[in-house]
Amino acid sequence: YVFKKYSNFADGRNMNDDPNSQYIGVYTGSKSTAPTDPTKYSWTKIKFEGKLYKGYANSTNGLDFTIVEPDDNSYLLAKNRPRVNITNDDDISDIWQANMFLSLKPNTKYTLTARAKGNNNKLWAYFRNNKTSQEYSWGQLEFGNTLETKNVVFTTGSDVDDVLFKFILVPEDENWTGVQVDWYTIHEGDRPYTDYPTNEPAQYHKYRYFGYVFKNGTPTASDFDWFDIQQKSITGDKYTHLVYSDNADGSGFGREPKAYMGIARTTSPVTPTDKKAFKWVRLKGDDGKSAPNFNLLLNTEIKSSSSYTLNGASPTINQNDFNGRNSVEINNNGQTNYGWKGISFRSSKKEFKRGETILIRLPIYIYSDVNVDNGITLALKSHVGNKTLTGFNLDNGTARDTWVIKEIECTVQQDFTSPADNLFYIFSTKNGHFKIAEPYMAVDGDMPKDWMPSLEDLRAHSLSANVRIAGTYEGKKTNNIKFFVDVYYDGVKVTNGFNLTARVWGGGLNKTQEDATYNSDGELTNVYYSNGVKDGTTINIKLDVEYQFLKTTCFARLDNLPDTELVKEITNKYKTFDTTLEQFKSQIGELNDKQFKVAIRGDNLLNSAEKKTGNNLTYTTLEPMKPGNTYTLVADFRYFPANQELRIFNSERQRLVAGINIFTFTVSTETRTINLTPLGNTTEVKDLEVWEGNFNEGLEKNSFDVIAGGINKLVTLKSLNEFKEGRYYKIMFDTIAPNNSAISIDFSEYVLASSDGKAIPNTNFKPMTAKDNVLFARVSNKTNDNKDVVYLEFSGDFDKTKISNIRFYEINLGFRYTKRNEEVNIYSIINQAKNEVNLSVKETLSTNYLTKAQTEATIKVMKDKIENVVTTDNFSTTLTQNARALRIAWNEISEYIQFEDGEMKFYDGKTEENKLKARINSGKYEFWDSGKPVGNMGSAHLKKDPDKMGITFNLEHFLTGKGKYMAWAHKDEFSSDSYNWKWVYTSQPIEDCERDTLNAFCNIDLHWKGIRQAIASTENFVFIDGQTATVPIVHQVTYNGNGSYSWRHGSLTFKNGILTSATHL
């Protein structure tokens, strides 16, 4: 019998006979009447859930929620309610939520209305040309230390097609704490606002979150699935752009909502013009039907092997194999035994309810070269508990050697929950050769015609990493060198799951380690340096980090700290002699003054090799920068606007030059954040380093050798220094042809730029003057005789004879030099009196770093004892000897050892019994506390048989001693401050241990040895698989002689598997 019912719910509740309902239920079975229980029906969706709505909000709970779309014809040009409220000057990146890139009409009147406040400094709102960074004189507002709404009417100029509207504190490097930007509007004509127009369409609007939902009737914020479209992070893919098209490939896209939505994440605020820059998602079904839901499966673009989990297979990835996306290929052949081998994909949904409809779309290619002898299967299952939701055969009836798209729709029959997110399994049970691409799974909705991403795949994520070097490298000797990496995903530290490629060079090593391994502390475990003498070159490490399909690069360096260099030495010698009737004293000495040149290692606060592009770039140091310290920032800048200047905190404002730029600065408050702005939207920054200290210290020695060559625009300069990759130089020179500009870049870059590479514009070169031109260079090339070489490139042809007075000053970022004054006073004294003789030799070292260091040895001879003292700085050892005892004390602490009465005794303070801690004699080691014995261990013999010797552990009686237990224990956690008992004898009740018992706190393995002469009861001895039961038995059967039998019965009683009682005859 077949019956059908209808319902508006996926589980069939409130079922009815209305065919206009959303679900149809079908019953097939032996009942002749329609069941009334909806669980007897299989439910299928036949109606769609209404209209597509797109929503915007400033929080996931719907703050400033609206479903109003942008309108290109609106007179309200722009609106934004960023709700910026800066409470921590270390993180002001949120101010970028208030900035907005616009295109205005030329020579047109607008009204700017804004609600904001500054602090003790003015907050300035203004417009500037995004191409030239020029500030416009019109459309400016200032805000003081009060939240207020202001407006200004202005008329634009002619060049306003690419404009940045932004807020800035004046001066910019002051503390931003307390700054607020609530909302603002920009309206064509004279139109101020008194409140934020939430539901009024604008040409441009800016929100933090975007969502969509299909619904009949007007939706509320809680109906939407929200995802972040405007991240606070200034790094990586910052901007998310949404456009729409009627075509699946995105052709003819615009801003009017249509059937397909394109999503692009870029580092530029400018919307891409190439349709290929977007991921296209179908939002509107045919004839107004609902669109397919987003993919529940994660990482289905199969960008790397981390997209899936291996399950016995050895797959390969085929690039751009299906619709421009990767496929994963599995070739199981030569298998003689049954056993499934394949891969699995992760799902964002792990719980499925009865009645839900699962849609699966899977392109598969089955090769004919391997016979599929036991099936290729798709299973939705959980390995944990080995539970299967459902499974499908993929090879039956499937054409070979061509792509076939499998479309599967099924209804969940029973509730299913998977403890793990790996639940989409594809495998062959024996032999089979196949590949798959674009796997898709969703609950309800339409079957997609194209690949659909997951919401998680569309979210903008950030990845950053730092690498640090621990250990010492001084005087060309390395000691305990280790490398540590810290990886952050969306600002949260991760300790596993990322892949590393490490390149290490310098210090006599040049190694690239693919798949570098690491432990939970981030220490690299297969990249290291041995201890010992090296060649003195800088140790460098560069790490390529990959995690969740994002990549970043970080690097670190450790310079060899040079040996101390003696600059000046002066020596004076002296002697004194003094004698009286009571005393004789003689002293001979030498006073030595020295001045040394000392290298001091600086703190490396940041290394970022990653190339970043944008007008405002933010970096975070490893440790806070503090007021009172000077810092040096080094970075490579390229492709910035003409005459672009940059100031870092309170540094001098410097005009940027292509290549290496160096800034020195201090900070007014403790911070870890560095903002480089303004830079221009096309500016590239890479190889950024931040060091504590001033790079100008120690620029003393000119190491220039000769001009090694020159042709066309290039001049080659040679240094006297041995080649050291990564060394920085400050280069100075004069010229008789100052009507030119210069930069210093790597020679390989010069060759690439001059052929088909990205040429550096002449506006990025530094104009020259006749005297003291300054450029900075980073060494990456060497001459044939292994010397540093630097290349100067000029904007026009240049004759090498036109430069002179060339100076090379090495810049040491890893360390800097300072001077240390040192005074050494050495003397010996003989001091004799009638009761004692004193012999003393003393050396005193005084420096401008160490207050005082002393070494002294004295011998004092008296009539009843001899004292010998050796002292270095604050450490000393005293040996006191008399006729009874020998005492040793050290470091002026109260503990000491005394040898007396044939024993070695340990005291804490005075020589009293209650200060005795332990003593050792010829046979025992005794432990004491507060004058009472605790116990002892040592050799012993049987009282009745002295020939039988052994080793014993003894505990004193609790009435005469302090011992109450003795134990074996173990520290179960390495960070614990206590030990855990394993075996304990207690003489008195302690914790849950009874008096005079031996207690176990761990499992006991007797290795199949017996237990003898033991007593146990069923209450205290339990077999975990023993039964407790009464078993009836027959004692005796008697034949009665008349064809009948009689018997006497009884029982056996078992408790915990042990017989405890039985009846008898």
Q: What domain count does the chain have?
A: 9
Q: Distance between CA 983 and CA 985 in Å, rounded? A: 7
HEC sequence for 167-196: EEEECCCCCCCCCEEEEEEEEECCCCCCCC
What DSSP character marks residue 107?
T
**H-helix or E-strand spanning residue 704:** strand 704-711
Q: Distance between CA 1008 and CA 691 in Å, rounded? A: 65
Q: Distance between CA 380 and CA 389 in Å, rounded? A: 5
Pick from 69-78, 292-301, 903-912, 979-988: least confident? 903-912
Helix (H, G, I), strand (E, B) or coil at 111: strand
Identify whether the C-beta of residue 509 lies closer than 8 Å to the C-beta of residue 529: yes
Q: How confident is the model at residue 742 (pLDDT cuts 50, 70, 90)?
A: very high
Pick from 326-330, 862-866, 1021-1025: least confident? 862-866
Tokens 């089955």: give the residue: 366
User: What is the percent of the chain where pLDDT is above 70?
Assistant: 80
Same domain, 427 and 536: no
Same domain, 687 and 709: no
* 280 in a structural domain: yes
Q: How confident is the model at residue 748 (pLDDT cuts 50, 70, 90)?
A: low
Q: How confident is the model at residue 789 (pLDDT cuts 50, 70, 90)?
A: very high
* pLDDT score of 850: 38
Q: Distance between CA 1027 and CA 295 in Å, rounded? A: 53
What DSSP character marks residue 801?
G
Q: Distance between CA 562 and CA 918 in Å, rounded? A: 49
Strand duo 803-811 + 23-28: pairing: unpaired
**What is the per-residue pLDDT across 699-726, written as a single tens digit (0 to 9) for each?**
768 999 999 888 888 899 999 998 888 8
**Beta-bridge mates of residue 412:** none
Q: Distance between CA 485 and CA 496 in Å, rounded? A: 11
**E strands present in 795-835:** 803-811, 815-833
**Beta-bridge mates of residue 775:** 731
Length of the chain: 1065
Identify the CA nearest to 457 among candidates 328, 360, 345, 552.
Answer: 345
**Beta-bridge mates of residue 1038:** 1046
Same domain, 839 and 850: yes
* pLDDT score of 847: 47
* pLDDT score of 231: 43
Greater model confidence, 426 or 491:
426
Pick from 224-238, 718-732, 824-838: least confident? 224-238
Residue 233 has pLDDT above 50, yes or no: no
**H-helix or E-strand spanning residue 753:** helix 747-754
Identify the CA nearest to 147 among candidates 166, 123, 171.
Answer: 123
Identify whether the C-beta of residue 318 lies closer than 8 Å to the C-beta of residue 286: no
CATH, residue 528: 2.60.40
Token representation of residue 942: 């049987």
Residue ranges making up the domain that contains 150 = 82-201
Same domain, 629 and 679: yes
Domain boundary (427, 458, 489) is at 458
Range of 44-58, 423-437, 455-469, 490-504 with top mean pLDDT:
423-437
Same domain, 86 and 172: yes
Same domain, 95 and 137: yes
State whether the Cα torsion 958-961-962-968 is positive or negative: negative
Range of 544-553, 756-765, 1045-1054 with top mean pLDDT:
1045-1054
* 1043 in a structural domain: yes
Which amino acid is residue 195, in one-letter code? D
CA dihedral 136, 137, 139, 140 (to 10 degrees): 110
Q: Distance between CA 743 and CA 767 in Å, rounded? A: 9
Same domain, 797 and 731: yes
pLDDT mean over 881-885 = 58
* 541 in a structural domain: yes
What DSSP character marks residue 800?
G
Question: Residue 33 contacts by C-beta under 8 Å, 6 or more apart in sequence?
Answer: none
Cβ atoms < 10 Å from Cβ of 628 = 6
Same domain, 185 and 144: yes
Domain boundary (650, 668, 694) is at 694
Token representation of residue 82: 């960023």
Which amino acid is residue 923, in one-letter code? G
Identify whether the C-beta of residue 599 lies closer than 8 Å to the C-beta of residue 814: no
pLDDT mean over 733-762 = 77
CA dihedral 231, 624, 492, 84 (to 10 degrees): -30
Question: Terminus-to-terminus CA distance in the chain, angstroms?
Answer: 67
Q: Is the peptide bond before 933 cis (omega within 30 degrees of 0)?
A: no
* 277 in a structural domain: yes
* pLDDT score of 566: 53
pLDDT mean over 923-931 = 79
Q: Distance between CA 432 and CA 340 in Å, rounded? A: 10
**E strands present in 654-784:** 654-655, 659-665, 671-676, 684-692, 704-711, 714-722, 728-735, 741-743, 766-767, 773-778, 781-782
Pick from 144-153, 833-842, 971-980: least confident? 833-842
Greater model confidence, 320 or 1056:
320
* pLDDT score of 28: 66
* 952 in a structural domain: yes
Same domain, 89 and 157: yes
Question: Residue 573 contacts by C-beta under 8 Å, 6 or more apart in sequence?
Answer: 589, 590, 591
Task: Read off the pTM.
Answer: 0.44
Q: How confident is the model at residue 972 (pLDDT cuts 50, 70, 90)?
A: confident
Same domain, 944 and 1045: no
Greater model confidence, 657 or 876:
657
User: What is the percent of the chain where pLDDT is above 90?
Assistant: 28
* 573 in a structural domain: no
State the average pLDDT for the chain.
81
Helix (H, G, I), strand (E, B) or coil at 992: coil
Could you tell me the strand order of the sheet in which 422-428 lies?
309-311, 341-346, 422-428, 376-382, 387-393
**Beta-bridge mates of residue 312:** 342
Identify the CA nearest to 191 among candidates 127, 112, 126, 103.
Answer: 112
CATH, residue 160: 2.60.120.260
Same domain, 150 and 268: no
Token representation of residue 256: 């009017």
**Beta-bridge mates of residue 732:** 774, 807
* 1 in a structural domain: no
Identify whether the C-beta of residue 695 lies closer than 8 Å to the C-beta of residue 664: yes
* pLDDT score of 852: 46
* pLDDT score of 290: 46
Identify the CA nearest to 347 among candidates 336, 337, 360, 357.
Answer: 360
Greater model confidence, 427 or 871:
427
Identify whether the C-beta of residue 233 lies closer than 8 Å to the C-beta of residue 91: no
Same domain, 904 and 996: yes
Q: Distance between CA 752 and CA 510 in Å, rounded? A: 26
Q: How confident is the model at residue 1038 (pLDDT cuts 50, 70, 90)?
A: confident
Q: How confident is the model at residue 527 (pLDDT cuts 50, 70, 90)?
A: confident
**Beta-bridge mates of residue 433:** 331
Identify whether the C-beta of residue 755 lies closer than 8 Å to the C-beta of residue 742: no
**What is the per-residue pLDDT across 533-582, written as a single tens digit (0 to 9) for each?**
998 888 989 999 988 777 888 888 888 877 665 555 555 655 666 666 66
* 422 in a structural domain: yes
